[in-house]
Amino acid sequence: MKAAIEETFTSLKGRFRGDLLRPHDETYAHARGIWNAMVARTPGLIARCADVADVQAAVRSASAAGALTAVRCGGHSLAGFSTCDGGLVIDLSRMRDVSVDREARRGRFAGGCLLGSIDVATQQDGLVFPSGVVSHTGAAGLVLGGGFGWLTRLHGLSADNVEGFTLVTADGSIVRANGTENVDLFWALRGGGGNFGVVTEFEVKLHPLTSVVLAEALCLGDDISRILQRWRDFMPEAPDKLKWNLNLRIAPDTENVPADVRGRPVASESVLWVGNPEEGRAYLDHVLSLCRPVAVNRTVVSYLALQTMADNEFPHGRRYYTKSGYFKSLDDSSIGQMVQALATVPSPTTQIELAYMGGAAARVAAGETAFGDRSSPFVINLLANWSDASEDAANIAWIRNLFEVLRPSMTPGVYVNFMSGDEDDRVPEAYRERWDRLVEVKSHYDPNNFFRLNQNIPPKTTAAIDGDL
């Protein structure tokens, strides 16, 4: 791989307009880090692109040299796919332009944008792009995998709001994919992840919104199971404007948590009303009456405040491990198993995250995009979060054990963006009946599997190349 990287560097040097960083360069140490400290790798070269021509040059040079290549937007891949040992990282962090057409309610953003860069730009015109809940997450990885967030029930997945992609494919060409051009690729890019090329621009629909009503509360003791059951029973009939998430966790030692609750297992509720506060009042009153919550806080918050409120809970540089899945319905026994597991959680910052999809996301037909299962509304993400490497084994084992216990009650399927790096056997499960069509599109646009550091969809001919790595 060393020779391939030297060849790539030599080919790019002198014509690359961005930064070419090698291990001995001063800024390399910072540039190589990604969000999940569990994945600390040492690329041979980081090519921080200044523009699309740089992306094309990097793809062509690495491909010609046979260099293993990772693509990075925000570096938040839980699995750590946006880095590699000894190979090339195509880093898009200098490509963060966003433009908004207020009248048409349309936007364009570059392939290196973070969610926060898009939110700040679109809010200047009172508009939003439905995305995720932590502003330092990269938009490209999130959108290409699907993209859940506060507005999913009202406006669909992030990918459902994309009208066009511009990408650099494995041969270095610039290709557009939308409703009329390269429609198979357009289909595949909405859920199929980074398998098909480097997306340099997304064209998206925007929606008017500047504030929401947010109620937060904690449920303790027997109320934890009770609120999960009531949430399960209530959500199928809930209006799209209501988003109600539950996280099972240890109550943090923070000012907004009563002293006698800190350190105890809780169900942390976040109930969002996206619309006229008066219209939502009765719904929020009802939800908050379903158990005896403590630390209740109900307030109107700006969209930008909403989008940044979880930023500090998931900082860069901690250790993270995840397993995820869907339930068609959530039975009492699974609820009991989650509550029981919480009593032995090894890290106080680990969370069992539960969301109910439904709404606009579920009304998109199964075959319309490559995104996996839309028919199982209960999404679970077991997310371990700790800081000390000596605790890796205990934290990973806790997630794996709980997942194994819950797995028989889950529907087959998984959201690719919530998968770890040790789950490649689950990638076909993520796409199921969409798999063969995805393999066709991959085989056409990336027959040599140049873009392989992702939840990989191997092209039909890849077996021979894998041996050469």
Ligand X SMILES: Cc1cc2nc3c(=O)[nH]c(=O)nc-3n(C[C@H](O)[C@H](O)[C@H](O)COP(=O)(O)OP(=O)(O)OC[C@H]3O[C@@H](n4cnc5c(N)ncnc54)[C@H](O)[C@@H]3O)c2cc1C
Binding footprint of ligand X on the chain (CB under 6 A): 35, 71-78, 81-82, 92, 111, 132-134, 137-138, 140-142, 144-145, 147-149, 193-194, 198-199, 314, 417, 453-454
Min dist CB 181 to ligand X, Å, is: 18
- Note every long-range contact of 420-424, with CB atoms under 8 Å and residues 24 or more positions apart, other chains counting: 420/78, 420/79, 420/321, 420/322, 420/323, 421/39, 421/78, 421/79, 421/80, 421/81, 423/79, 423/323, 423/455, 424/455, 424/456
Distance in Å, CB of 103 to ligand X, minimum: 28
Q: Give 28 or 290: the residue with its C-beta nearer to ligand X.
A: 28
Least distance CB 281 / ligand X (angstroms): 26
Q: Which is nearer to ligand X, 81 or 303 (CB)?
A: 81
Identity of the residue, 111 or 377, whose beta carbon is nearer to ligand X in the bound complex: 111
The single-letter code of the amino acid at 160 is D
Q: How many CA atoms lie within 13 A of 394 on its CB side?
A: 13
Q: What is the smallest separation between the CB atom of 248 and ligand X, expressed in angstroms?
A: 17
Please report how close the Cβ of residue 414 comes to ligand X at its closest, in angstroms. Answer: 12
Find residue 106's DSSP bridge partners.
Answer: 101, 205
Alpha-carbon distance 73 to 71, whole Å? Answer: 7
Residue 209 or 291: the one with the smaller Cβ distance to ligand X is 209
Q: Between residues 148 and 225, which has the closer beta carbon with respect to ligand X?
A: 148
- Give the nearer residue to ligand X in terms of CB position, either 113 or 242: 113
Least distance in angstroms from the C-beta of 141 to ligand X: 2
Q: Cβ closer to ligand X: 134 or 185? A: 134
**CB within 8 Å of 390: residues ≥ 6 apart:** none
- Count the Cβ atoms, other than its own, within 10 Å of residue 272: 23
Which lies closer to ligand X via its Cβ, residue 84 or residue 220? 84
Q: How far is the CB of 229 from ligand X (least distance, A)?
A: 25
| Beta carbon of residue 167, minimum distance to ligand X (angstroms, whole number) | 7
For residue 411, the 8-state DSSP code is: B
**Which contacts (CB < 8 Å, 24+ apart) does range 439-445 have?**
440/184, 441/184, 441/185, 441/187, 441/188, 441/192, 441/196, 442/188, 442/192, 442/195, 442/196, 444/184, 445/169, 445/170, 445/175, 445/185, 445/196, 445/197
Spatial CB neighbours of 263, under 8 Å, sequence gap ≥ 6: 250, 251, 253, 348
